[in-house]
Structure formats: structure tokens, C-alpha cells
């Protein structure tokens, strides 16, 4: 029968005594017999903050080490966990269990004095210098080369920083701070516009070439629209009324009521309206499924183009999903507006477009101004026989330029 062992909690722990476990920050002690340890405790036992403070010092033939259980250099694990050390007596099979406390031993260079409380911040700042001094004195050749390289890089970085600062001061002095701020605002605005505006040729000679039709609908996509677009031809008043009740686009319904009689022009317009109608449907979606549009006869190349240009891929639950975030909805609005410019002889009722996309008037005008359109007003006969003012966007050459800095300032004041 195996001998049994019992453990006993040491009674001296109740008097505040505990075992000490030390770890050295820069290596391991091979021969512990050659290390002299000294233990200090705070003499102010009446102060509850100081009575438990302890310091452990270790002297070797090369360096001195110091560790404490308070301040910035102490181990935080002592406050989070409680440690024990067991000492087994093999003769009696009795184990004495002692409270334990961990200390991190840091090297102290000759000539240094211990920092008093309140100087921990200074000690933290100079710790890098202490390590560098140790490397210079006892480091290997590889460590010394790395130290020298780091110091050279630090000098080079400071020199580069001074050169850049001097060059910036010269540019500000020559051009002026106000002009530089304006250039930065224009650059940022142009970068934001490039994210969602269709390809633009501001130097075009005709309005049709500013936002080229082929950049909106490619020739391959235009050919694929021939079959599905036929469903929009010859719609009766009842069909249009039914589409109105189903919440179809106001712009598309209005254009379907005035199709040209020329077969070629009519075919071109219904293809554009079919594509435009699907842009409206896409903007109302949050997530695009893998079979989106297939049941309605959407051509595969158009579906691929929609996913590539107007959605963002996200990874969720082990699947790749296509989402339509707010930024992509703005891009859809810009492409729909550019396509409407070709359909409507480069004049678009922005108010109707705004209502279809459920935008605010300021957001719709922001997109129109970013595309360089001239903003005007037009009176339109509304339901009930009343006249209402609509915003009108017109593409004229040269393109309109708006002060983006003033526009941003106005929006900031309004918000």
C-alpha cells in the first residue's frame, strides 16, 4: 500500500511572513549559491499603504539586482492572484505550504541610487539607456552592432525630420498657409469624388462625351439587354398603374409613358430604362444573395458587373456575402444620374430622382454638383393640380465648378 502524504499550512504565514520567488529580467542564475539575497520591509507599519512594501536585493560578482512589490517596476500578478509554495519533507511525507510573492529583479548599474516614490516616470524614460549601457559593457558583438545601427538610424531620422520641417516652412512661406489649406481640401474632395463618380472627361467637346455611354453600360452588356428589355415595350395604362402601385421608380414610369415611335430609338431607350430600373432596385437592397435577379431574367454579365462595381464583399459565418453600404448607394445614384443625362437630353429632374432613391435634397444636390451639373429650378404639375418647384440638373460645357470649401462649411453649420 502506497504511503500517504498530508500537507500543513504553515502557521507563521499568519504573522505576515511569506516565501519569495524571484525572476531575473535579463537571464537566469546558474549558480544560486554565489548570489547574496537581502530582504527589506517598510518600517512604517502604521501606514496601510506602506506596511506591506518589500524590497529584495541580490548581489553577484558582476551586477546587483533589485526588485520590489510596489511602484511601476512591480509585477501586477501579485494583486490578481495568490501564490503558494509547498515544501515536502520526504522523511515524514508532510508538506508545509507557504504564501509566496513574486519579484522581478532588475539590474542596477554601479553608481546608481534607487529612485524614490514619484520618480517612477523618470525611471521608465531612462530604462532604454540602462539597457544600452548593459549592452555596451557586457553585450555580444551582434548586440553591439544592432545598438550602433539603431543609434545611426535615430540620428538619420532626426536629420530627415529637420529637413522636412525646413522644406515645409519654405513652402508655407512662398505659397501661404491659406492657399495650401485650400489645395488640401480640393485634393481630399477630388479623392472622395473619384470613389463613387463614373469616369469623367471634363475636357470633352460635347456633353455626350463627358460621361461616355460605354463607361456606364458596356457594349457587351448593352447587347445582353436586348431580350429582357422587350418586357417594357407596349405597356398598357393598366400595366403602368400596376407598376406604380408596386412602388416602381417614378423616373422610369414617367419615361415609359413617352417612348419614341422610332423602333431603333425606342429599343435604345427601353434598354436604358431596364438597366436604370435595376439600379433603383439594387439601391434598396442591404444584402445581395447569390441568386439575385436570376428569376427576373437578369443577364449574367450585368449581374457580375453589379456585384463588382456596386457591392462590397464581406466574410461572415464562413460565407462571402455582397453588401450594399451607404457609400455604394451614393455611387449607384451617380451612375443613375449619368445614365439619365443620356436619356433626357442632358437635363434631369433631380427632385424625382431624389424621391426614387429616398435621399435628402442636400445629398442629391451634393452628387449633382460633384458631377459638374448646373443647378436650376423648374415648375412641375403635381397631383391635385398644384404646381411645385423641382430642382433641375443640366450638363453644360464647360462643367460647373463649385467651391467645395464653402459647401463643407455650410454643411457643418447646418449639422
What would the 3-class secondary structure string for 60-111 be?
A: CCCCEEEEECCCCCCCCHHHHCCEEEEEEECCCCEEEEEEEEEEEEEEECCC
The reported pLDDT for the residue numbered 139 is: 85
Indicate whether 206 and 327 sit together in one domain: yes
Contacts of 264 (CB under 8 A, 6+ apart): none
The rounded Cα 127 to chain-centroid distance in angstroms is 34
Long-range contacts, 192-197 (Cβ 8 Å, 24+): 193/370, 195/327, 195/331, 196/327, 196/328, 196/330, 196/331, 196/334, 197/331, 197/334, 197/370, 197/371
Which of helix, strand or coil describes residue 339?
helix
Residues 345, 235 share a domain = yes
pLDDT of res. 318: 67
Predicted local confidence at residue 110, as pLDDT: 65
Residues 6 or more apart whose CB falls under 8 angstroms from that of 140 comprise none
Residues 48 and 130 in one domain: yes
- Domain shared by 338 and 219, yes or no: yes
Please write the tens of the pLDDT for every residue from 342-354.
988 899 889 889 8
What's the pLDDT at 339? 92
At residue 375, the pLDDT reads 92
Predicted local distance difference test score (pLDDT) of residue 179: 61
Q: What is the pTM of this model?
A: 0.54
pLDDT recorded at residue 220? 92
Confidence (pLDDT) at 193: 52
The Cα–Cα gap between 36 and 59 comes to 5
Is the same domain home to 377 and 409?
A: yes
| Per-residue model confidence (pLDDT) at position 335 | 92
Count structural domains, the chain: 3
**CB burial of residue 219 (10 Å; 0-12, 13-18, 19+):** exposed
Residues 180 and 221 in one domain: no
Plot region of 410 (φ>0 → left; ψ -120 to 50 → alpha; else → beta): alpha
Q: The domain containing residue 158 runs over which residues? A: 145-193
Judge whether 1 lies within some domain: no
Cβ-contact 375, 391 below 8 angstroms: yes
Residue 99 lies in a domain: yes
CA–CA distance, 401 with 407 (Å, rounded to integer) = 12
Residues lower than pLDDT 50 in the chain: 1, 115-123, 191, 406, 414-415
- Contact status, residue 84 vs residue 98, Cβ threshold 8 Å: yes
CA distance 201 to 98: 82
Q: What is the pLDDT of residue 344?
A: 87
One domain, residues 110 and 242:
no
* pLDDT attached to residue 405: 53
3-state secondary structure of 30: coil
Q: Does any domain span residue 221?
A: yes
Amino acid at each position: 500500500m502506497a504511503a500517504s502524504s498530508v500537507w500543513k499550512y504553515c502557521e507563521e504565514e499568519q504573522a505576515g511572513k511569506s516565501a519569495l520567488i524571484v525572476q531575473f529580467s535579463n537571464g537566469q542564475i546558474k549558480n544560486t549559491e554565489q548570489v547574496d539575497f537581502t530582504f527589506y520591509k517598510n518600517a512604517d507599519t502604521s501606514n496601510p499603504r506602506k506596511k506591506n512594501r518589500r524590497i529584495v536585493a541580490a548581489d553577484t560578482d558582476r551586477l546587483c539586482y533589485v526588485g520590489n512589490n510596489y511602484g511601476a517596476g512591480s509585477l501586477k500578478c501579485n494583486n490578481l492572484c495568490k501564490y503558494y509554495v509547498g515544501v515536502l519533507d520526504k522523511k515524514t511525507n508532510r508538506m508545509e505550504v507557504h504564501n509566496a510573492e513574486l519579484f522581478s529583479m532588475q539590474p542596477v548599474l554601479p553608481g546608481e541610487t534607487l529612485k524614490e516614490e514619484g520618480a517612477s516616470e523618470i525611471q521608465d524614460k531612462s530604462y532604454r539607456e540602462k539597457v544600452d549601457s548593459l549592452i555596451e559593457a557586457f553585450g555580444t558583438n551582434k548586440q553591439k552592432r544592432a545598438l550602433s545601427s539603431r543609434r545611426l538610424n535615430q540620428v538619420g531620422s532626426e536629420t530627415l525630420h529637420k529637413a522636412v520641417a525646413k522644406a515645409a516652412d519654405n513652402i508655407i512661406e512662398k505659397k501661404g498657409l491659406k492657399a495650401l489649406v485650400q489645395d488640401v481640401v480640393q485634393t481630399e474632395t477630388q479623392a472622395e469624388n473619384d470613389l463613387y463618380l463614373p469616369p469623367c472627361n471634363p475636357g470633352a467637346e460635347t456633353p455626350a462625351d463627358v460621361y461616355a455611354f460605354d463607361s456606364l453600360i458596356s457594349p457587351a452588356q448593352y447587347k445582353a439587354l436586348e431580350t429582357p428589355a422587350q418586357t417594357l415595350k407596349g405597356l398598357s395604362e393598366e400595366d403602368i398603374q400596376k407598376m406604380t402601385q408596386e412602388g416602381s421608380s417614378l423616373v422610369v414610369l414617367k419615361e415609359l409613358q413617352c417612348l419614341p415611335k422610332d423602333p431603333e430609338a425606342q429599343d435604345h431607350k427601353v434598354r436604358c430604362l431596364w438597366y436604370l430600373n435595376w439600379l433603383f432596385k439594387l439601391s434598396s437592397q442591404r444584402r445581395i444573395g447569390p441568386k439575385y435577379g436570376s428569376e427576373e431574367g437578369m443577364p449574367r454579365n450585368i449581374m457580375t458587373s453589379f456585384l463588382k462595381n456596386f457591392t462590397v464583399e464581406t466574410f461572415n459565418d464562413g460565407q462571402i456575402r455582397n453588401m450594399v453600404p451607404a457609400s455604394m448607394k451614393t455611387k449607384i445614384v451617380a451612375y443613375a444620374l449619368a445614365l439619365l443625362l443620356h436619356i433626357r437630353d442632358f437635363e434631369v429632374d433631380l427632385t424625382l430622382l431624389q424621391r426614387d432613391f429616398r435621399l435628402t435634397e442636400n445629398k442629391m444636390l451634393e452628387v449633382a454638383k460633384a458631377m459638374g451639373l448646373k443647378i436650376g429650378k423648374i415648375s412641375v404639375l403635381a397631383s391635385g393640380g398644384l404646381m411645385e418647384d423641382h430642382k433641375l440638373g443640366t450638363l453644360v460645357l464647360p462643367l460647373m465648378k463649385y467651391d467645395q470649401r464653402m459647401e463643407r462649411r455650410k454643411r457643418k453649420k447646418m449639422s
